[in-house]
Amino acid sequence: MTALANPPVRRVETVEMEPPKRYNHSDFLRLAPEDTKAELIDGEIILMPTPSHIHERLQVFLIKVIGLFVDCFRLGQVLGSRTAVHISEVDTYEPDILFVSREREHIIQEREVTAAPDLVIEILSGSTAHHDRGRKRENYARAGVRELWIIDPYGAAGTQFYQRQGNELIEVAPVNGIIHSIALSNFKLNVNWLWANEKDQLPNPIDVLKELGVKI
């Protein structure tokens, strides 16, 4: 037998991996854990990490301000981050904050919001930003969300505001530091409220509400 000049080749066998299981909206409502925030994104159930203090502080501030503003003027309902929103059969999101106008409150059901909210607010974190800026933003637009705020809790550079124009969500810029909401009647967001001052403090919600014309 003639000896080979080169050694024989050996390879690791290729193992066929099963594709990840895809879930639908009904699966998500049945399987999503009650004690952990989760979302269905493109058929995959994704568990969300525990949010940072800066994220939670901003969320609580905005819920106080927007929630009391909405209650004062009887505009509708504001809900927090554990409300499932049915976007498509393979996408169910739990926005940090959402608003549904009084005329559309019928979409709020016992375990879910069955259609697009009027306003969605997503507060970014390092592990979720690519979803919020990517597929989720596109699907919010497709589903009919009127207004979307994507807020970077660390500053203005990563913060984006979108408002509906026709069939699209168009990014808009503050005018003199103010976003004039199209979903919340007469609500003017001073973007400087979103980030802490030199003392690492957010504004007092009562002072903000007075500035917005709420009589307290």
Distance, CA of 99 to CA of 120 (rounded, Å): 7
Q: Where are the beta strands (DSSP E) in the chain?
A: 38-41, 44-47, 76-79, 85-88, 91-93, 97-101, 119-123, 147-151, 160-165, 168-172, 178-180, 188-190
What pLDDT sits at residue 34? 87
Per residue in 16-57, pLDDT tens?
A: 767 678 999 999 999 999 889 999 999 999 999 899 999 999
What pLDDT sits at residue 21? 84
What pLDDT sits at residue 214? 93
Amino acid at 178: I
What pLDDT sits at residue 1? 61
What pLDDT sits at residue 14? 65
Q: Which structural domains are found in the chain, ordered by start?
A: 52-211 (3.90.1570.10)
Q: Where are the beta strands (DSSP E) in 2-156?
A: 38-41, 44-47, 76-79, 85-88, 91-93, 97-101, 119-123, 147-151
Distance, CA of 46 to CA of 69 (rounded, Å): 32
* Residue 93: φ, ψ to 5°: -110, 160
What pLDDT sits at residue 126? 85
> Can you give the pTM of this predicted structure?
0.89
Amino acid at 184: L
User: Pairing mode, if any, of strands 147-151 and 160-165?
Assistant: antiparallel
Closest CA to 192 of 179, 206, 209: 179
What pLDDT sits at residue 193? 97
Q: Which residues of the chain have pLDDT under 70?
A: 1-2, 12-15, 17, 19
Maximum C-alpha span of the chain: 99
What pLDDT sits at residue 189? 98
What pLDDT sits at residue 15? 65
- Locus of tokens 């207004």: 147
Cα distances (angstroms) measured from residue 28 to each of 45, 90, 176: 7, 9, 42
What pLDDT sits at residue 9? 74
What pLDDT sits at residue 8? 77
Distance, CA of 158 to CA of 125 (rounded, Å): 11
